[in-house]
Amino acid sequence: MDKIEIKPGDLLIAEPFMDDPNFKRAVIIITENDHTGTLGLVLNKPSIFKLTEVLQDFPKFDAKVYLGGPVGLDRINFIHCYPEIIPNSIHIIDNLYWNGNYEALKKGIQNQKILPHNIKFFLGFSGWGINQLDEELQEKTWIIAKEYRNIFKGSQYLWKDVLEKMGGEYKLMAKYPEDPSLN
């Protein structure tokens, strides 16, 4: 089979019956894909923590922390649309950036130049080694979506919403129950 092209900004949508608790009904934005592997962040798995509970010596900021994936749970990642305020940010796509200078982030929050609805924080990340994601895509473990708007919203329905917007067979998949045995 042909290799499926994945680019930063693409969304990986978990197939409806994936059992892995880290990725069940997950929507992952790809932040990096190169010859060393692929990285992404799960957009729709909120943790029980607020940002100020996870980061010490951080300004008061009303933001949830999401579970970005099972790798590097001791690390905070963030996506945002503030490259002019947060230097050294990595461009993902359009006006969407990943990480950047931590001190500038704190200063932007203190100066109220960074707003909670334009930034999202994650504990950990999702990662695939060389060819690992390609194999999972060939096995149809993931559905690729090019729609990435509204990712700063914390909708628990993001998985369903993205599939419905894709239309066709995906709109039907969005209606699949999480546990078919309860149907």
138-147 confidence digits (pLDDT tens): 999 999 998 6
pLDDT at 78: 98
pLDDT at 148: 67
CA distance linking residue 26 with residue 44, whole number of Å: 6
7 has a pLDDT exceeding 90: yes
150 has a pLDDT exceeding 80: no
Q: Which amino acid is at 117?
A: H
- Residue predicted with more confidence, 3 or 79: 79
pLDDT at 2: 63
134 has a pLDDT exceeding 80: yes
4 has a pLDDT exceeding 90: no
CA distance linking residue 175 with residue 45, whole number of Å: 19
68-101 confidence digits (pLDDT tens): 999 999 999 999 999 999 999 999 999 999 999 9
pLDDT at 52: 87
pLDDT at 146: 86
Structure tokens at 56: 């010490």
Domains and CATH numbers, the chain: 11-182 (3.40.1740.10)
Mean pLDDT in residue range 33-57:
93
CA distance linking residue 94 with residue 165, whole number of Å: 20
pLDDT at 180: 67
Helices (H), 56-122: 102-110
Mean pLDDT in residue range 105-129:
96
19-31 confidence digits (pLDDT tens): 899 999 999 999 9
Mean pLDDT in residue range 140-167:
86
- Model confidence at 177, pLDDT cuts 50, 70, 90, reads confident
- Which residue from 133, 139, 80 is spatially nearest to 109, judged by alpha carbons? 80
Which residue has 């960074």 as its token pair?
A: 114
